[in-house]
Amino acid sequence: MTGLGLKVYYDLMSQPSRAVILFLKANKIPFTPKPVALRKGEHFGDEYGKINPFRLVPTIDDNGFKITESVAILKYLSDKCQVANHWYPKDLQKRARVDSYMAWQHLNLRLFGSMVFRIQVIEPRMTKQPIDAARLAEYQSQLETCLDKIETIFLRDAPFLAGDEISIADLLGICELQQPMSVRHDVFRGRPQLDAWAKRVQDRLHPHFYEASAHINKVKEMFKEPSAKL
pLDDT tens for residues 211-227?
999 999 998 888 865 44
Nearest to 34 by CA among 11, 5, 8, 59: 8
Asked if residue 2 lies in contact with residue 77, where contact means CB atoms within 8 angstroms, the answer is yes
Query: Does the structure show a pLDDT above 60 at 188?
Result: yes
In the chain, domain spans: 6-83, 92-222
Handedness of CA 1, 16, 172, 99 (dihedral sign): negative
Residue 46 is predicted with a pLDDT of 95
Q: Does domain 6-83 have CATH number 3.40.50.300?
A: no
Please give the C-alpha separations between residue 56 and each of 32, 48, 175, 220, in angstroms, as whole numbers.
18, 9, 17, 23
Q: Is the pLDDT of residue 110 over 50?
A: yes
Report whether the peptide linkage leading into residue 124 is cis, meaning its omega lies within 30 degrees of zero: no
Per-residue pLDDT for 230 more than 90? Answer: no
What's the pLDDT score for residue 222?
85
Sign of CA dihedral 124, 130, 135, 139: positive
Q: pLDDT at position 3, please? A: 47
Q: What is the mean pLDDT of the chain?
A: 94
Residue 220: predicted pLDDT? 84
* Mean pLDDT computed over 186-203: 98
Q: What is the pLDDT of residue 127?
A: 94
- Whether the pLDDT of residue 1 is over 50: the answer is no
Domain 92-222 in CATH 3.40.640.10: no
In this prediction, residue 223 carries a pLDDT of: 81
Q: Is the per-residue pLDDT at 168 higher than 80? A: yes
pLDDT for the residue numbered 224: 63
| Residue 71 pLDDT grade (very low, low, confident, very high; cuts 50, 70, 90) | very high
> What's the whole-number mean pLDDT along residues 60-68?
97
Mean pLDDT of 16-20: 98
Residue 2 has pLDDT above 50, yes or no: no
Q: What is the pLDDT of residue 4?
A: 59
Band of the pLDDT at 59, cuts 50, 70, 90? very high
